[in-house]
Structure formats: structure tokens, C-alpha cells
Structure 1
């Protein structure tokens, strides 16, 4: 059903002159990622996106486990916390992002978003009481600024004929981290809350995620160059936000 809806309501928007011949070797996650190596600067952005996703995916992996273990939350309380998290993200994406990117540009906006994402993870790691989680959500709400400008910067590195392939590559990265993170973070949580734990620390998964997110900030600031004016115009910020959604 989803495929049929996409066929009917999502027609191809790329101009005929920018389309390329279909190739099976590029129509798969590995081939798509390999193809991205041909575009200068895209590798570092891909690494940042990988580290960011690897760190941020700790939340769906262990949020319910950590919340129940550390704060004794019920299923309803866990649901409320996730709802608050999603609501803040929606507010930022809908109201703040369209104003921040034109004022600061994609590069600075991405730095702000990545930095707040890392700081929020550190805050969650050391939040010893449930109310602190909500405080972190409110204070760290700007973390929602990270993804759209990062995608926009990546889009400026590839030609129009490869825009869809780029989004496929980023989706492949997301899929890879979706496979890794449940095993990684639940394993860390189990180790640091079990009887053989070197120290009882329920926030260990969040701390590990915060480290990955900090590495994402470092790589971005040191390796991802600010785009030239013509690159900035190649993809509008609102288009990147739409792709991210």
C-alpha cells in the first residue's frame, strides 16, 4: 500500500536532463555508499552523520529500560517523556529552524544542533532523578537543529542527478546504525546494571552515546568546510528539512 501511494502521490520531480541511467550496482545500500566516495567532502559529512546517528539511536534502544531502572517510571510515564521529546523536536523543526538557517547558515546551525545533542546526552547520562530528564529536554531542545542542515550541506556536495542517491546513502547509514545500536546499548546497559558491573551506572548507554556525539562535533568542526555561496544555493534549507522529515 505504501508503495502504491508513493507511485501515485510522489511523482519524479527531477528534470529529464539531470536523470541518469538506472544501474543495479548502485541501487543497493553498499553501492550507494561506495558511489558517494566520488564526491569531494561528502565522506566527512557521512562520518559525522554516522556518529550522530550512532549516538542518538541510544534513545530508542534503551530509553524505556533506563527510565524504568533509574526512576521507576511506569509505561505511561515513559510514554509521556517520549511525547515531550518529540513535541520539542517538532516545535524546533517547525518554528525555529526556518529562522535560524537564513540567519546563521547551515554550517553554524549544524554546529549548534550537534553541540546541544551531545550536551543533552551527557545530561541524560548523569540525571539521577526523573524531573532532570525533562529539564534536559527543555534545555537541550536545540538538538533538533542538527539533522536538516547536515543533509543540506551534503546535498550541496553532489550534482542534481545524485540527490536521490545521496538521501539513499544517508538512509543506508541510518539502517546500519539501527542494526548496531540495539545490541550495543542494551549490552552496555546490562553490563553496568548487572551483578558483575565494575560500578552500578544506569546512565552508561547515554554516556557512550554522548561520546559518539562529541566525536561527531569534533569531526564536523575540524573536517567539514563551510560551503561556498554557490554551494549554499544548490539546495534550499527547507528542502533539506523536508528530506529529513
Structure 2
């Protein structure tokens, strides 16, 4: 499988740096609103935290449902017309949408803003296809890890800045996110090169392939990645426990406000950068993609269990470095999958993966939010604020078992060391 020739070899490192910065700025903009969005929902809902939990879950569910519908279209568009225009339109759309949300007077209008945000947030999907274009198969795990580092770095700076801005006004982080997204659009407009050569593009845009469920046909063409797809699907569903419960969980159990949550998220970001930038490539090289994936999933299970059990903040902090190693599993799984797909289908593969992630997110946020809300409410048989984290640990344990099975099936073809 050849690397795309749209960018000369000497320019590929610079192109990877460009896409790193593009993702970084996008993550910064999203990170800004993470500590404040649940509190804004709570404020617009009258201040009731139990019902706010359900609303936050609903917001996450709708966001995922819209992404499920739009991601395959974005992936197919990038395969047909190139990665650059999709990324640029995404950044511009996000910037304008953050302005819209900053001005939203009610929960209904805030929901409209989240829907627009889901449609516009294509850069993450397209960035993965961009990486597949410009890196050799054996280097993709490391490259995907660098994008994970961009996420981590964004979550160091973004939430802290968002927490500080929230002291001025609860809506101020949305204005900051708008500025960053529009800056990202300007950055990409002038410096981001196209990665997909015309000769490697899909010959036409096929609406039948861009339909949500039809887009999954690209996965059906490669049955050897079925286990990996299920792993990604289950792991993705557990990620939603963070966005649907974490901020309010910190309030209920530890008394953290927007600023307190932002500091914890900053620690998570630091650990994410360390793991993604410093350990992912080394661990994949040392253990191989299969075993690195299993190790990452196992650490995620342990980390979630610690979060659920942590009665004190210091106990929660103990789980952070263990849970951070979960980040190894995603780039390892992605690298394994991209080896099986041609250059002209990488965008559709990433779009299909994002569709699956979004499909998981249709049910998962409400499941975790409802679990959290129920076990802190008056009807709960036992007060258990960590119940959602225990549920996430169970789901991720299932993904680990499938990874073990997949590794055993492919033990003869993947070396333990490189």
C-alpha cells in the first residue's frame, strides 16, 4: 500500500506538523467549553443537577446522532475532493457556531448550536485520513499517537482557559472557542497543503456510499477488521461517560466547580501528551500493535474502576496515570485497520469508523447520564455516584476480551518486537 504522492517526501513531516496544529486548535476550542457546558445547561434548566444530568446526556446523544448522519458524507467528500477543503469548511463552520452558542438564550437554541457543531466537526475524521495519506503503514501508529498528543495538549490548555474565562462569565469560553476556530480556518487557508493526490481520489461522489448505514459497506469489504471495529465501537461508547457525567460527577462527589474540573482535565491532558507523544510509538514498537492495544484497554478498565471507587479526590487522582495508558489502544487499532484499506478508501474508512463511534454515542450518553442521575437521586436503592464509571469499566472489559481473541488469531503474523 503506497503513501500518497500529493505531498513530496520532504514535505510530509511539515504536513504532519500542519495537521497536528489544525487538530490542536480545534481541540483547544472544544476544551474551552467542556468545563462550562454542563453548568450552562444546569443554569438554563433552573439549577437542578439531577435533571441537568439527563439534559447533558440528551445533548451528547443528539450530537452523536447528527455526527452519525454527517460523518460518512464528510469522509466521502474528502475522498472525492481532497482533505483540505473539508477541514477548512469544518473550521469555519465551528467558529460561526460557537458564536451562535454564545448567544443562545434557551436550552432549545443551545441544542440547535450543538447540532450545527456536530455537522461541522469534520476535521477530526478527515485528519485521520490525512495521516493515512502521508505516512507509511508501519509509521501510522506513531502518527496517530501524535494526533492523540494534540488532543492531550488541547485538553491541558483549553479547559484551564475555559475555567478561568467562566469566572468572568459562563458564556465567555464560547467566545474564546469561536476565536480559536476562526483562527484555525485562517491558519489552514494559508499553510495546510492537500494530502490526497488527484490520481488517488475517488472518481465521483457516490451518495449511496455517503448514506450512514451504506457507508459501513466499506467495513464489510474487509471482514478481517471486524474484531477491531467492535473494539473501537465498545471503547468509543465508554468515552461518552466523560462528557455525559464527569463535570457533574466532580461537583456531586468532590465539590469541584468549573475551575476545579478544568484543573483535573489539565492533568489528564498532561498525561495524555506524555503517553501519546512519548509512549505510544515506543510501546507499539516494543510490543506490536496487537499487544499494545490489549495493554491500553486493560489499563482503561482498571482506571474506570478506580474512578468509580474513589471516595476522595486523591483516590481519583491515582487512577489518572493508569487510565492515561488507555490512549495506546486507539492508535494501535487504527494502524491495524489502515493496513487493510487502499488509499482511495481511507476517508470512507475513517468516516465509517466515525459513524460507528457516533452510533455508539446515540445510546451511550443517555445510558451513562441516566445511570449517574438515578444513583444520585432519591429513587436509588443505594447512593452510588460512581455507578456510571463501573458500567464503563464493564463495557471496556468486553472490548479487552475481544482484543485478546483477535491477538490470538493473529499471533503468527505479528511479531512481539520490531
* TM-score tier (shorter): 0.7 to 0.9
Shift of 1:174: 2.0
CA–CA distance in structure 2, aligned partners of residues 14 and 42 of structure 1 = 26
CA–CA distance in structure 2, aligned partners of residues 43 and 14 of structure 1 = 29
CA–CA distance in structure 1, aligned partners of residues 296 and 189 of structure 2 = 34
1:77 aligns with 2:260: yes
User: 8 Å contact 2:289–2:333 — kept in the other structure?
Assistant: yes
Match of 1:26 among 205, 209, 232: 209
User: 8 Å contact 2:284–2:292 — kept in the other structure?
Assistant: yes
Structure 1 residues 156-235: aligned runs within 5 Å: 156-223=339-406, 225-226=409-410
CA–CA distance in structure 2, aligned partners of residues 52 and 200 of structure 1 = 27
> Which has the greater radius of gyration?
2
User: 8 Å contact 2:272–2:327 — kept in the other structure?
Assistant: yes
1:63 aligns with 2:246: yes
Q: Which runs of 5+ in 1 are unaligned?
A: 233-245
* TM-score normalised per structure 1: 0.85
Q: Deviations over 1:39-85 (max 9, x none)?
A: 12222211110100111220111001111111122221111111111
CA–CA distance in structure 1, aligned partners of residues 212 and 232 of structure 2 = 15
| 85 and 91 in structure 1: CA distance in 2 versus 1, 3 angstrom threshold | same
| 222 and 228 in structure 1: CA distance in 2 versus 1, 3 angstrom threshold | closer
2:235 match: 52
CA–CA distance in structure 2, aligned partners of residues 228 and 16 of structure 1 = 35
User: 8 Å contact 1:66–1:202 — kept in the other structure?
Assistant: yes
1:2 match: 88
Higher relative CO (CA 8 A, sep ≥ 6), structure 1 or 2?
1
2:313 match: 130
CA–CA distance in structure 2, aligned partners of residues 28 and 151 of structure 1 = 22
Q: Which runs of 5+ in 2 are unaligned?
A: 1-86, 93-184
Shift of 1:136: 0.7
CA–CA distance in structure 2, aligned partners of residues 14 and 28 of structure 1 = 25
CA–CA distance in structure 1, aligned partners of residues 88 and 363 of structure 2 = 26
- Output the aligned Cα RMSD: 2.4
For this pair of structures, how many residues does the alignment match? 231
Shift of 1:119: 1.0
User: 8 Å contact 2:200–2:343 — kept in the other structure?
Assistant: no
